[in-house]
Structure 1
C-alpha cells in the first residue's frame, strides 16, 4: 500500500512539474498577426460605386483605431491625387495619392455605379472600360505579380480586372448580374459571398459584400480579436463562408454554384492541372 501511495505521489509531482512547462510551451507559439502592420489602398476611378469603396474604408479605418495605427488605409487613383466622381451623379471623393502597385499590403478595387447594361456613358460596362483605359489594369497586373500584395475586389471590381485578362482561370465572384460576363471574360465564377483564390486574391459579390471582404481581411491579417471589435463597433456580423478551392467538393445537386462552374469547364480543367 505504501509503495502504491509513493508511486501516486511521485506521479503527481511529475505531472505538476510538466504542466507549467507544457503551458509555457503553448504560450510560446508565435502569433503571426502581433506586431504586423498592414497598408490598404482603395482604388477610385470615375463612376466608382460609393459603397464599394467606403464600406471597406471604414472597416480598415476602424481596424487601424483598434490596433493603434498598425492598419492604415488611403484612397488612391491611377492618375494620382485628384477629386474622383462616383457613379450616378454621386458625390466625389478625393484620391490622396497615386496607386502604388509595389507597396506591400492590400489593394481594394471597387465596382462601378450606373445602369446595368447599355451603350450610354453611364452604363456600368462602359464605366469599367473607361477605368481600364486609364492604365489602372496595367498597374493592377503589376500588383498581382507582387507576392507582397493581396488584391481584393468588391462587386464589379472583379469584372474590371477580368476585362484585361487578369482573372483568367481564377476563381472569382461579382454581383449576380455580372456572373455570366465574369465567366465569359475567362474567370471561373463561383456562387459565394466571398471567394479566395490562393492567398493573394479575394473577391466579393454584391455591393454590401465590401463589409464582409474587409472584415475577413482584417481577421486574416491582424487577428479575430480586432475583427470582432470592428464588428461590435458597426453592430454588424460578417456574412457568408469564404469559399476556397480546397476540401471535399459538394455532390452535384444542380445548385447555382455547380451551374456557374460548368460555364467554364476548360478553365476548371486548367486550374486542376496547375
Structure 2
C-alpha cells in the first residue's frame, strides 16, 4: 500500500519524519514494496514547516484516488499570542489548512474505500476544523481535545485511535506508534516487529477501537 504524507505550510517536521522513517524501513524489511512519498495539494514544491523555517520538498500532488495510506501531520507554532496582531498560533495554522486545496482532496480520500487516512497530533484537528470528521472517533494533542470534541468528533484519550479507515495519533511522538500500527495493516506483525528491533523502540499504549465490551466504571 502506497503512503502519501501530506505537507502543508506550518507542518510539524516530526509529525512527518517519524512516520516516514518507520514506513520506509517497513518497506525495506518487506523486500522493497510500496512507495512512501511526500506530497502536497499544490503538487511538487518546497513546503516551509512551522519550526524555524525548516523546509521539506513535496515531490508530487496528493492523489486521493491512489489506494493506500494518506498521512496528515499537525502543525508547529506558538501556543499563545494574539492572532489579530499577526501571531500565527497553532489554532490559526490549523484553521488555515481548511482554506487550502487540500480539503476537497482529503474529502475524496476519506470517501475512497481503498484509502486509509491517518493523522498525527494536530492533523486530526486540521481535518475536523475543516468539517471532515464529524461523528468519527479520533485523538489529537492533549491541548486540543476539547476543540476536537467541539467539532463533533468523538474525542478518545488514547495514544492511537483506530476508527477503521481513519487512524489518528495523539501528541507528536505518537507518530511512531501510529506508523507501526500502519505497518501491521500493510505487512503484518513480523515486519512491524523487525522495524521495532531496528529502531530499538517499543510501542506505547493500547490502540483504541470502538469494538468489544464496554467497560464499567470502577
Pairwise TM-score range, normalised by the shorter structure: over 0.9
**Aligned pair partner of 1:183 in 149, 161, 164:** 149
| CA distance, structure 1, for counterparts of residue 87 and residue 67 of structure 2 | 34
Cα distance, 1:150 vs. partner?
0.1
TM-score for both structures, normalised by structure 2:
0.95
| CA distance, structure 1, for counterparts of residue 131 and residue 174 of structure 2 | 23
TM-score for both structures, normalised by structure 1:
0.76
Cα distance, 1:135 vs. partner?
1.6
| CA distance, structure 2, for counterparts of residue 57 and residue 42 of structure 1 | 8
CA contact (8 A) 1:121 1:127 kept: no
The answer for the alignment partner of 2:50 in structure 1 is 87
CA contact (8 A) 1:63 1:71 kept: no
Aligned residues: 215
Higher relative contact order (CA 8 A, sep 6+): 2
Q: Does 1:192 align with 2:155?
A: no
After TM superposition, the runs of 4+ consecutive aligned structure 1 residues lying more than 3 A away are none
CA contact (8 A) 2:13 2:51 kept: no
**Aligned pair partner of 2:131 in 162, 165, 169:** 165
**Higher share of residues assigned helix:** 1
Q: How do 1:67-216 and structure 2 match up within 5 A?
A: 67-118=30-81, 119=83, 120-197=86-163, 199-216=164-181
- Unaligned stretches of 5+ in structure 1? 1-37, 254-274
Name whichever of 143-152 and 238-247 sits farther off: 238-247
Cα distance, 1:116 vs. partner?
2.1
Structure exhibiting the larger radius of gyration computed from Cα positions: 1
